[in-house]
Chains A and B, each alone.
Chain A
Amino acid sequence: MKFIDEYCNVELSQRLVERIRHKSAREVRLMEFCGGHTHAILRYGIRQLLPPTVEMLSGPGCPVCVTANADLDKAIALSGLPGVILASFGDMLRIPGSYSSLQKAKAEGADIRIVYSAMDALRLARENPHRSIIFLGIGFEATAPTIAASILEAEGERIDNYYVFSIHKLCPPVIRALLQSGEVKLDGIVCPGHVSAIIGSQPYEFIAKEYGIACAVAGFEPLDILLSIDMLLAQIESGKPEVEIAYRRGVRPEGNLRAQEIMGQVFETCPATWRGIGEVPQSGLRLRQEYQRFDTEKAFYVDPGPPREARGCLCGDILRGVKWPSDCRLFGQVCTPEHPVGPCMVSSEGSCAAYYQYQSHEAALSK
């Protein structure tokens, strides 16, 4: 298939793997920031192709996983308000909050609809003028522009029953927070693909300059990822860390200026709380003053009670890259995709889900 098969080409990938093996002289630790990358790496078995000297660590790039319980609890409480339709991306539904999940709230009678984009939520607002439509605005820089666009459209059409609960998060600030903590030693970072299509590669420059860590922006096909690893190794071996793009068909250094403009018009940065990481300055997005009438924070009041963390759940440590899913005593025993304890086991971008789905029985397979 066009634009997919090319990036899955077996011969090319074998040649890249050879190059990577040839280049790899010492042990390196790379972090793939995105959950999408973690899944692709496990789904295509890319780790089986890499030399043992290259260690790949999963990062916090799963928007659903890093959503703090306090925010999730608030979303669940909002869904229970009379007259409200809560529109959410499907991924959020099964995430366990402190006391319940959106899926359970739905079963108990809350009107929760799965949508694919903010525009679908806006359509719900048009079709249900007597209901309040709350869109659960979750995601990184890749999703924020379309949500900003939905708000501009709602304003243009004078739609007055559309609201956004913005719990968006930004990638570069959290990478800085991770590196600043010094908890994980990294040699290179596979930088986000879709996010970088919006923000470009420039916002990662500080990683190479200030922390001396190699960076490569990668797409989500096997060849994209292998190419980024090859670039990272070359940077590491030459001792010249920089930000390269292994995803030229999607990402330009300056990013998508129009999308950035819309995002900046509607949102402003604010501190945000990340699961496992805590509050990170400038890492969230809230609606600007001019658009506050679309803000759930201003239009609705809910008190979901104090947030609680599930006992024994290591999602926070796994999101920081300091623990592996297999380090968690709950993994695969108490916590499974059917009975998730933490979000990393539920989300299609969660590390635990990826390891469980593709790898948990590797020992059995190698027999």
Chain B
Amino acid sequence: MKSTEDRILLAHGSGGRLSHELVQKSLVPSWSNPVLNRLDDAAVFKLSGRLAFTTDSYVVSPIFFPGGDIGKLSICGTVNDLAMCGAQPLYFSVALIIEEGFRLAELERIVTSIKEATEEAGVEIVTGDTKVVPRGSADKLFINTAGVGLIPEGVDISGSNARPGDKILLSGTIGEHGLAVMSQRESLEFKIPIQSDCAPLNKLVVDMLAASPEIHCLRDPTRGGLATTLNELATQSKVGMRIDEENIPLQEAVRATCELLGFDPLYVANEGKLVAILPPTDAERVLNQMRQNCYGREGAIIGEVVEQHPGRVVMRTRLGTSRLIDMLSGDLLPRIC
């Protein structure tokens, strides 16, 4: 373990001795696997079948938040992007952009949480990159990950596959990640018992596909929240959607915090939830299977796909009235009175 004062220097990114030391002492041992350990210019491996490939950059601030950190997020986010195409995620790249002066001890915490997330998801980091930029050129640490996965035979999942009559499933309570991160931001610190839901959902998807290979759409409602995801799916599939406010799972703490701050939980980000759209005949079966998985325990059927009002999502409120659920516009900002 390094002393708490050890920091990343520009030389750690120079490509010279310090760079090698950083990679070989701090990164490779933690993420070790045969493909990575060769340390060639590119990862070499065999894959055959239908591939899914995705990339995402992670710039969350602060980098440590209740329930996770930027490292865990950078693996789970990319795992989930692959899983939402029905793919089994396999091989990952991780690129770190580190601000000069970043504490080595913090880097090691993040490297460890990346390792734990890859182990849970069952994926391997096979290639990577490290850059150090002068102080002020980045905010502590940015991470880019890319991943490839294999799509099993017979699986055809796309945002444009929703059909009228389909049921809409949600894997659990919404809004936790957004509020957990927001609660830590400078000048907005408030104490709330809310943890980020950040989690890899690929095994949940495997379970759900085992219950029904007929799943039409899967999507994780991250930035923009559930409302934005449903709008995207409705637009892509050219169908309408009706959801029931009463059936949307919500933690009390999230609801109370949203009331207080003037947020609508439908628009708050999640990092460990998914929306599934599938034929009504399979809905109960998939829901039961979902609830067996630790990441789907509070899953619920929240609505259905309709022919009317294509591209629009309508919610039946708790009062029995109905209201349009639009996409998020702009940033989520607190209200003032």
Contact = CB atoms under 8 A, between A and B. Distances in A.
A52 B330 CA distance: 34
A360 B309 CA distance: 13
A114 B318 contact: no
A294 B174 CA distance: 42
A10 B320 contact: yes
Interface of A: 1, 4, 8, 10, 13-14, 36, 42-46, 48-49, 63-64, 87, 89-94, 113-116, 120-121, 123-124, 138-140, 142-143, 194-195, 222, 336-338, 346, 348-349, 356-362, 364-365, 367
B99 to A, nearest CB: 19
Which of A13, A114, A123 has the most C-beta atoms of chain B within 10 angstroms of its own C-beta?
A: A114
Given A113-B187, A365-B312, A4 B256 contact: yes
A361 B337 contact: no
Contacts of B324: 357-362, 365
Interface string B306-331: 00110010100111111110100111
A158 to B, nearest CB: 22
Contacts of B187: 87, 113-116, 120-121, 123-124
Nearest to A140: B337
B336 interface: yes
Interface of B: 186-190, 252, 255-256, 259, 261-262, 308-309, 312, 314, 317-324, 326, 329-331, 333-337
B170 to A, nearest CB: 19
Contacts of B186: 113
Nearest to A226: B319
Nearest to B250: A1
Nearest to B310: A364
A346 B256 CA distance: 24
7 contacts: A45-B323, A89-B334, A114-B188, A143-B337, A336-B329, A348-B333, A358-B326
Contacts of A360: 324
Contacts of A13: 319
Contacts of B335: 36, 89-91, 348-349
B262 to A, nearest CB: 6
A123 B337 CA distance: 20
Contact of A365 (B309, B331, B337): B309
A114 B319 contact: no
A102 to B, nearest CB: 11
B312 A91 contact: no
Given A4-B255, A44-B321, A45-B321, A116 B312 contact: no
A357 B228 CA distance: 13
A94 B186 CA distance: 20
A367 B309 contact: yes
Contacts of A143: 336-337
Nearest to B185: A114
B188 A116 contact: yes
Nearest to B253: A1
Contacts of A8: 318-319
A348 B320 CA distance: 23
B262 A367 contact: no
Contacts of B188: 114-116, 120
Contact of A139 (B252, B309, B337): B337
B323 to A, nearest CB: 5
A145 B219 CA distance: 45
Given A365-B314, A367-B308, 10 more contacts: A10-B319, A36-B335, A42-B323, A63-B336, A90-B333, A94-B330, A142-B337, A195-B337, A346-B330, A361-B309
B336 A138 contact: yes
Nearest to A364: B309
Contacts of B189: 120
A92 to B, nearest CB: 8
A48 B322 CA distance: 8
Given A8-B318, A10-B319, A357 B326 contact: yes
Contacts of A194: 337
Contacts of A115: 187-188
Q: Which 8 A-B pairs have the closest CB atoms?
A: A45-B321, A90-B333, A337-B329, A89-B336, A348-B335, A90-B334, A142-B337, A48-B321
